[in-house]
Amino acid sequence: MSLFSGKKILLGISGGIAAYKTPMLVRAFIKQGAEVRVIMTPSSKDFVTPLTLATVSQNPVYSSFIAEDQDNPLWNNHVEMALWADYMLIAPATSNTISSMAQARCTNLLLAAYLSSQCEVFVAPAMDLDMYAHPANQKNEATLTEHGVVVLPTEEGFLASGLQGKGRMQEPEDIVSFMENHISKNLPLNGKKVVLTAGPTYEAIDPVRFIGNNSSGKMGFELAKRAAALGAEVILISGPSALDVDHANITVLRVNTADQMFEVSKLHYTDAAIFIASAAVADFKPDTNATQKIKKETGFSQINLIPTPDILAHLGAVKEKQFLVGFALETENELENAQGKLERKNLDAIVLNSLNDANAGFGGDQNKITYLQPNTKPIAFELKTKAAVAVDVFDQILLAYEKTS
Ligand code: C5P
């Protein structure tokens, strides 16, 4: 899954010859799963048509403050467009646009949107070599950098003037990978290893029967996706689950039993920055595992159960620098029980999900959690999708983790 998957990108196009490459730029973002909206400066329309960009972006393209060709003119809301975006990119950015951005001029819709933006803004300059090198332009670019804008380097090469030199806009795919690298480098969990357990465990009675539970693994898989979106290298240790995930930074290691989950967890714990135990591990297993299927005719009247290893308790006991998070599923005295587990297992946080909440928990797509940490008031969240819960959990983890690391 790409970093741009599901992201909203506002592309601002200003009037340079490199504007002819912008439909390819839109395509490149869309190929990565992003949604793109385009704002053009009036002069950029001499180089590329709004129709082309509207067609490739599958969104209306705006270039003036007022909707054109209408008997009842409407205001094109630059604030709404700017706040919509996860990232804004101005490509090509002419000397004129860069200078206006640096000085907070607001003479067209693109500049107004830039000034209203709250997201990270990237600028891909494109101009002739002497314009690019001019101290006034260099100063404007430095001002933008000071303002937190990411100014992409230009390429050296053949320029529209016929001259050779520095000032060419980067190729569309290079712009996309530059942005990708920049964003991922600055993600809060970049370079960190996050390990999670998820799903149920199956404890064999014989080759076909087992003791298991109804855990789907959904919560753990959503947490893994969130960790990866925050830049982490993720190891997802999953018990039997129908789920799968396709992300370059997530390695899924499949196990069946609590013992196997324990072994794999220990292996990946040493260098983990964060470990989250969201698996519904069986607490007991049969003391024997018949090698052949037990015949109905033979019958068996009882299964002797012995405890499985408590993975989380072990990890808590040997904890060094890891941030260790457990899950608790309680039906009574929820807060007290969760609090007890937090202390007993030496955890940094515990996520309580209650079976008392309708529509939440096992198997479903939603969950309702309370987040507990040592010496802090529990934080209760509303019923949400598991994907949204994963965002809340990592928001809390990051708040505490950034203080300790
Ligand atoms: O004590 P209890 O089983 O309720 O604790 C639940 C938490 O402990 C969950 O985070 C679960 O993943 C973890 N756990 C474990 N190994 C076990 C049992 C539970 O890691 N054998």
pLDDT in tens, 264-323: 999 999 999 999 999 999 999 999 988 999 888 887 788 899 999 999 999 999 999 999
**Tens digit of each residue's pLDDT (9 = 90 or more) over 364-401:** 789 999 999 999 999 999 999 999 999 999 999 999 98
258 lines ligand 1 (CB under 6 A): yes
Residue to mutate, 312, 333, 339, 354, ligand 1, most ligand atoms under 8 Å from C-beta: 312
Domain ranges of the chain: 8-185, 193-404
Write the secondary structure of the chain as one string of H (helix), E (strand) and C (coil): CCCCCCCEEEEEECCCHHHHHHHHHHHHHHHCCCEEEEEECHHHHHCCCHHHHHHHHCCCEECCCECCCCCCCCECCHHHHHHHCCEEEEEEECHHHHHHHHCCCCCCHHHHHHHHCCCEEEEEECCCHHHHHCHHHHHHHHHHHHCCCEECCCEEEECCCCCEEEEECCCHHHHHHHHHHHHHHCCCCCCCEEEEEECECCEECCCCCEECCCCCCHHHHHHHHHHHHCCCEEEEEECCCCCCCCCCCEEEEECCCHHHHHHHHHHHHCCCCEEEECCECCCEEECCCCCCCCCCCCCCCCCCEEECCCHHHHHHHCCCCCEEEEEEEECCCHHHHHHHHHHHCCCCEEEEEECCCCCCCCCCCEECEEEECCCCCCEECCCEEHHHHHHHHHHHHHHHHHHHC
Give the architecture (CATH level 2) of 8-185: 3-Layer(aba) Sandwich (3.40)
The pLDDT of residue 71 is above 90: no
User: Is 277 a pocket residue for ligand 1 (Cβ < 6 Å)?
Assistant: yes
Counting residues of the chain whose pLDDT is more than 70, the rounded percentage is 97
pLDDT tens digits, one per residue of 272-286 = 999 999 999 999 999
Determine whether the shortest distance from the Cβ of 281 to ligand 1 is under 6 A. yes
The closest-lying atom of ligand 1 relative to the alpha carbon of residue 278 is 12
Give the ligand 1 atom nearest the CA of 350: 10
Tell me whether domains 8-185 and 193-404 share a fold. yes
Q: What mean pLDDT is predicted for residues 181-197?
A: 95
- The answer, yes or no, to whether residue 69 has pLDDT greater than 70, is no
Query: Does the structure show a pLDDT above 70 at 361?
Result: no
CATH code that applies to domain 193-404: 3.40.50.10300
pLDDT value at position 355?
A: 72
* pLDDT value at residue 302: 86
User: Which of the residue ranges 226-230, 287-291, 343-347 would you say has the lowest mean pLDDT?
Assistant: 287-291
- Any idea which residues carry the catalytic annotation? 213
Average pLDDT over residues 105-123: 97
Q: Lowest mean pLDDT: which of 39-53, 62-76, 150-164, 243-257?
A: 62-76
| Ligand 1 neighbour 197 (Cβ under 6 A) | yes
The answer to whether the CB of 326 is under 6 A from ligand 1 is yes
Residue of 195, 196, 269, 310 best suited for mutating to test ligand 1, as the one with most atoms within 8 Å of CB = 310
Which tens digit of pLDDT belongs to each residue from 127-146? 999 999 999 999 999 999 99
- The CA 327 to ligand 1 mean position distance, Å, reads 7
